[in-house]
Structure 1
Amino acid sequence: MARIDASLFELLRARAATSTICPSEVARSVARAPAGSNPSALAWRTLMPLVRERSAFWAGLGRLRITRAGEPLDPAGDLGGGPIRIGRGPAFDEGPDNAALPPSAT
């Protein structure tokens, strides 16, 4: 999970403050295998539920925001049912990028 958290913040920091990322960018970044290995091209898909869960966790803290078709979503609600985008929340730069795991993950 630490790699997912790190990737979320790294990818967003590499973009303009108003830009968003797709959760699949995070999953692909984390699933990227070391040079010389031959991972399944679809391995990143298995990470998608966890990327959405971690995004919702950070959005609940105000560090990230989650949108669908440009409209903000409630991070405590159901994020399934369509594409989402992840952007910087109002508290993006506050605190470390390695907060405690949400209760459901412990």
Structure 2
Amino acid sequence: MAPASADTGQLLEAAIRRLLDERAPEATICPSEAARAVSDGQWRNLMEASRDAARRLAAAGEVEITQGGTVIDPSTIKGPIRIRRRRD
């Protein structure tokens, strides 16, 4: 599978932001929700790109990536994750 284009990455970042904006402040989303939001039905092919988009947003300080409710280092992602707004 070819890597996602920069445009796809930007679309996924925008989808993550939008999905979080549509939820309660304490809510989380799954990367698959962003992948589904920008796909043409082949969202599974976008899962790693969606996780990469979440990593970029976390690096920029916009979101946090969690596993089991605990914030994790985005470089150590293994398994299911959730994305939430940054909490200070």
Scaled by the length of structure 1, what TM-score is found? 0.70
Any idea what SS the aligned residue of 2:64 has? strand
Any idea what SS the aligned residue of 1:83 has? coil
Q: 1:3 and 2:2 equivalent? A: no
Tell me how large the CA RMSD over aligned residues is.
1.4
Q: 1:88 and 2:47 equivalent? A: no
Over alpha carbons, which structure has the higher Rg? 1
Scaled by the length of structure 2, what TM-score is found? 0.83
Q: Which structure's residues are more often helix, by fraction?
A: 2
Aligned-residue identity in percent: 40
Q: In structure 1, list runs of 5 or more residues that go unmatched.
A: 34-38, 92-106
Q: In structure 2, list runs of 5 or more residues that go unmatched.
A: 1-8
Aligned length: 80
The 8 Å contact of residues 4 and 54 in structure 1, kept in 2 or not, is answered as: yes
